[in-house]
Amino acid sequence: MIEVQNITFSYSSKGTPVFDNFCLQLEQNKVYGLLGENGTGKSTLLYLMMGLLRPNKGHITVEKVDVSRRKRTTLQQMYIVPEEFDLPQMRFTDYVETYRPFYPAFSDDILRRCTEEFHLPLDARLDQLSMGDKKKALMSFALATNVPYLLMDEPTNGLDVPSKKQFRKVIATTMTEERTLIIATHQLHDVEALLDHVLILQRSQLLLNASVAELCEKYTFDVRPEDDLTDEVLYTERTPQGNATLSLRQPNDEETSLNLELLFNAVTSINNQN
């Protein structure tokens, strides 16, 4: 479990804090979507959880150990795939051989499955790969480390459409029970079907913290004609198909599937009105 306890963090002493007395608890064995527009602090929160940034006040613990201590046992359980990264000038197999001794739970099987799905040649020279392929290589490694806490910052940025499909397949296949995956992204469509839990961040506040099951139980997402906008409609948007609506789910209504973009727009616009 990752516990973010009353943290305050700002990049400079004069600026406004990115997080002010912020709390969050993340449980194990779930796929979390950390959603928000650019610049809302998603990356910052991920770095704080990895111990790469230190909160000015408060602390963050993983399995009850403060991450700022950067203990080996804590770091062995976590891995972050940053949005931008440099890969050394070596072949992918050499890269794996270099880094894997640090992750005792490393699995060759998962690595093989990921590289097959991504169509990545194992002996490719990392510095000669395209940006998308570099991401896929690092993600394959990240998933193969088998760490219980895996953080990804904008994993689908820079991936072309077929690659996004590969990404979804890979995540769906490798999400075992003993893993928590936190995906920070603004590409809602890419992760919609993969999430267990939705976190919406705006201006360093957590606007929503709910499981997908809960959301589909409480709310209905559908498209309605103009005259059907009754009282229980909480938010609506015009689309070519009609009005996309988010409404309170009535007791006997069948559950609908989550429309993440609609939910996000609803939550942020309601927040902007307040």
Q: Where on the chain is the footprint of other proteins (CB under 8 A)?
A: 11-12, 31, 47, 50-54, 69-72, 75-76, 78-80, 82, 84-86, 88-90, 94, 97-99, 101-103, 165, 168-169, 172-173, 175, 193-196, 212-213, 216, 221-223, 253-259
Q: How far is the CB of 56 from other proteins (least distance, A)?
A: 11
Q: How far is the CB of 170 from other proteins (least distance, A)?
A: 8
99 or 235, CB closer to other proteins?
Answer: 99
20 or 271, CB closer to other proteins?
Answer: 20
- For residue 79, the cross-strand partners are 150
Please say whether the beta carbons of 151 and 174 come within 8 A. Answer: no
53 or 267, CB closer to other proteins?
Answer: 53
Please say whether the beta carbons of 69 and 28 come within 8 A. Answer: no
Q: How far is the CB of 23 from other proteins (least distance, A)?
A: 21
The helix/strand/coil state of 130 is coil
Longest dimension (CA), the chain: 63
237 or 271, CB closer to other proteins?
Answer: 237
Q: Give dist(CA 271, CA 29) in Å, integer.
A: 30
The helix/strand/coil state of 63 is coil
Residue count of the chain, please give it: 274
Q: How far is the CB of 168 from other proteins (least distance, A)?
A: 4
Please say whether the beta carbons of 30 and 214 come within 8 A. Answer: no
